[in-house]
Amino acid sequence: MRDRLLWLIHSPFALLFPILFWALVVGLAYYRNDRTLQHAGFDLAKQRGEVAFQLIQTMRHWNAIHGGVYAPLTEQTPENPWLEIPEKTITSPEGVVLTKLNPAYMTRQIAELLEGGRLEIHLTSHTLMNPNNQADPWEKRALTQLEESGDASVVEIVDDRFRYMAPLHIDQSCMPCHAKMGYEIGDMRGGLSVSFPVSYAQRLTTGLRRDSILTHLVTFVLLSVTGMIALTGLRRLLRSLQRERDDRESIIVDRTANLNKEIKRHRRSQETLTYLAHHDELTGARNRRWILAQLGYLKQEAEQCSGTLAVLMLDIDYFKHINDRYGHQKGDEVLVTFVSRLQSELRQSDQLGRYGGEEFLVLLPDTSQSDAEKIAQRLRRAIADTPFQINDEVLDVTTSIGLACLEVDASLGQDELVGRADVALYLAKQTGRNRVVCWNDEMAH
């Protein structure tokens, strides 16, 4: 047995063993890292679909709560033949003929403007009023899946496009148009799909994948060379004196140190990817996906324990003016400072996340409405009372805050809870900004 081992060590093919071994080890490490990158790219692309959906849904909600909007009657905007309401078309005192755009018609026109571009949207349903909203095969399957599973969204890659669909549910503002179709409040009436090229997600991870390939390639070369050197040292060890054995131990120590460095480097890379998957890269706050998942967990916990949960939605007042006047770089620094001040005022149990743009969500578990309002006022003062020092500029920054609470024994959906905070925020901005507005039942009408 010993003679066979010595023969194997001195074999001319022995130097191939480290190459094959490290090719297997580094290949498996690269495969795992690449899968992580793929998931990260998919999650980032999904977030883009969610943002586009929420933006369109917010516009539709705004249209619905205002009972529709009027626009000049033109060839591009004719009467909506599927809208049966009084005063569908009116004439202004100046003689301009106006026709009413309900949420569906407005969404259809936006979709036509986006058609053929990088980002496309489509409003559809199994039960159509407008045949132009006919679902394609993927949308039909997605609608069925949403109806049967109750999932919040369906996300897939179809051909060369990233497809995202989320359901649309009947609320009170939808009933004037959809009650005659047999819908009731809470029913799913259809879905809004968002699509954009797969290349968007690929661009997000191309640089990281290139660095990963280079890192693993260099690691493979270093480890293979180190393995061959160690094997050569082992050959010398078998026919050398004690001094040569000491040299071999030094080589082993160096190889172990290099291997430890590579392991630590790989671990740091994994930790970085994990951090990016749950945090906003600019501000360091939790990202939209994480904060909404945490909202679902805290809501379930509050319902099971008959507890309370308060949700704050914050928006930086006139943030667009800051970007336009001082530039996006200073705008980014304002966002970072804004988050830092909020974090310093929050309790350890409170959760802060970036909802999108300059909007943020704060979750306050086990907090009554009166205590939540005090916390919201404290956050508002923390922003407004001390000007922001951004390099050589001093900026007066304020924030508007909408507050919604899940009280004991209340039955309230997660989206509805966030929607209430959003409506309260909208009212705060409409009534002067730099204030806190709490949701009440009168806002539902």
- Decide if 55 is inside a domain: no
Would you call 233 helix, strand, or coil by DSSP?
helix
Long-range Cβ pairs for the range 235-244 (8 Å, 24+): 235/9, 235/10, 238/6, 238/9
Of 318, 19, 46, 41, nearest in space to 165 by CA: 46
Question: Do 313 and 411 lie in a common domain?
Answer: yes
Give the least confident one: 155-169, 201-215, 392-406.
201-215
**Residue 4: its pLDDT value, please?**
61
- Decide if 247 is inside a domain: yes
For the stretch 298-357, pLDDT in tens is 999 888 888 899 999 999 999 999 999 999 999 999 999 999 999 999 999 999 999 999
Question: Do 440 and 292 lie in a common domain?
Answer: yes
Instruction: Single out the residue in 185, 201, 217 at which a domain terminates.
Output: 201
Question: In this structure, is the dihedral angle defined by the CA atoms of residues 253, 258, 259 and 263, taken in order, positive or negative?
Answer: positive
Question: Do 76 and 190 lie in a common domain?
Answer: yes
Q: Find the mean pLDDT for residues 211-240.
A: 75
What band does 425 get if pLDDT is binned at 50, 70 and 90? Answer: very high
- Decide if 408 is inside a domain: yes
- Decide if 61 is inside a domain: no
Length of the chain: 445
Question: Do 408 and 324 lie in a common domain?
Answer: yes
Question: Do 77 and 172 lie in a common domain?
Answer: yes
Number of domains in the chain: 3
Q: Find the mean pLDDT for residues 123-134.
A: 81
Question: Do 292 and 416 lie in a common domain?
Answer: yes
Mean pLDDT of the chain: 84
**Residue 2: its pLDDT value, please?**
59
Which of 29-43, 93-107, 385-399 holds the top average pLDDT?
A: 385-399
Would you call 67 helix, strand, or coil by DSSP?
coil
- Decide if 272 is inside a domain: yes
CATH number at residue 299: 3.30.70.270
Question: Do 321 and 415 lie in a common domain?
Answer: yes
Question: Do 126 and 258 lie in a common domain?
Answer: no
Q: Find the mean pLDDT for residues 221-238.
A: 73
154/167 Cα distance (integer angstroms): 9
- Decide if 53 is inside a domain: no
**Residue 408: its pLDDT value, please?**
59
**Residue 48: its pLDDT value, please?**
83
Q: What would the DSSP string read from start to end of 17-45?
A: HHHHHHHHHHHHHHHHHHHHHHHHHHHHH
Tokens of 183: 């819908």
Contacts of 137 (CB under 8 A, 6+ apart): none
The answer to whether residue 129 scores a pLDDT higher than 80 is: no
The answer to whether residue 156 scores a pLDDT higher than 60 is: yes
Residue 380 C-beta-side C-alpha neighbours within 13 Å:
23
- Domain holding 117, by residue range, is 68-201
Residue 393 annotated as catalytic = no
Instruction: Kindly state the percentage of the chain with pLDDT values over 70.
Output: 86
- Decide if 10 is inside a domain: yes
Question: Do 141 and 33 lie in a common domain?
Answer: no
Instruction: Single out the residue in 278, 312, 327 at which a domain terminates.
Output: 278
263/312 Cα distance (integer angstroms): 42
**Residue 373: its pLDDT value, please?**
96
Would you call 80 helix, strand, or coil by DSSP?
coil
Instruction: Single out the residue in 247, 278, 309 at which a domain terminates.
Output: 278
Question: Do 428 and 294 lie in a common domain?
Answer: yes
Catalytic residue (choose from 262, 333, 358, 373): 358
For the stretch 355-385, pLDDT in tens is 999 999 999 999 999 999 999 999 999 999 9
Question: Do 294 and 440 lie in a common domain?
Answer: yes
- Decide if 182 is inside a domain: yes
What band does 35 get if pLDDT is binned at 50, 70 and 90? Answer: confident
**Residue 287: its pLDDT value, please?**
94
Question: Do 334 and 405 lie in a common domain?
Answer: yes
**Residue 432: its pLDDT value, please?**
94
Of 296, 395, 400, 283, nearest in space to 343 by CA: 283
Return the higher-pLDDT residue of 47 and 21.
Answer: 47
**Residue 64: its pLDDT value, please?**
82
The strand ranges marked E within 309-377 are: 309-316, 351-356, 359-365
Instruction: Kindly state the percentage of the chain with pLDDT values over 90.
Output: 33
- Inter-helix orientation angle 242-278/16-65, to 10°: 10
